[in-house]
Amino acid sequence: MTERQRNPEERIQFLESEIYRHRDLYYNGHPEISDAKYDSLEDELKELDPNNPILFRIGIDRSELFNKEKHIIPMNSQDKVTQPGEFSKWAKKRNFKVFIVQFKLDGISIE
């Protein structure tokens, strides 16, 4: 039996703490782990506690390098896919005929 199976509540608390810490580091320009590793922390928390509030919080950017701006149309949270099959499933659910894809510094956003 794994530690996660023995103490799911403790594992959830650990994941919350790690996710918050790594978000803070990322948004303030000091990431310590890869995007894929961060995503795996969120994925595990989603599996253990899909309604955990930290999963619905968007960013914690406190950087003073950029001005805060308000989007005309809020983007809200982003769906993430890592495999072509996941993208196909995501696209099929939305029944879109056309996609606009724009570059990001660390990947792409699709909404």
Nearest CA-CA partner of 80 in 72, 89, 71: 89
Report yes or no on 93 lying in a domain.
yes
Do the beta carbons of residue 48 and residue 19 sit within 8 Å? Answer: no
- Give me the domain span that covers residue 50: 3-63+81-109
Contact present, 11 and 3 (Cβ < 8 Å): yes
Domain count for the chain, please give it: 1
pLDDT beneath 70, residues of the chain: 1-5, 59-63, 66, 74-79, 102-111
pTM for the complete prediction? 0.59
104 flagged as catalytic: yes
In a domain, 54, yes or no: yes
Pick from 51, 49, 25: nearest CA to 37: 25
Tell whether 31 is covered by a domain. yes
pLDDT value of position 90:
81
Q: Residue 102 and residue 111: Cα distance in Å, rounded?
A: 11
Is 72 contained in some domain?
A: no
Predicted pLDDT of residue 38: 94
Whether 102 is covered by a domain: the verdict is yes
Burial class for 15, CB neighbours closer than 10 Å (0-12, 13-18, 19+): buried
Instruction: Measure the CA angle with vertex 11, ends 40 and 22; round to 5°.
Output: 45
* Structural domain contains residue 75: no
Residue 70 inside a domain? The answer is no
Among 68, 70, 93, 104, the active-site one is 104
Residue 108 has phi, psi (to 5 degrees) of -135, 155
Q: What is the pLDDT of residue 97?
A: 78
Q: What is the pLDDT of residues 77-91, one digit of tens each?
A: 566 777 788 888 888
Beta bridge partners of 104: 107
- Largest Cα–Cα separation, the chain: 49
At residue 31, the pLDDT reads: 92
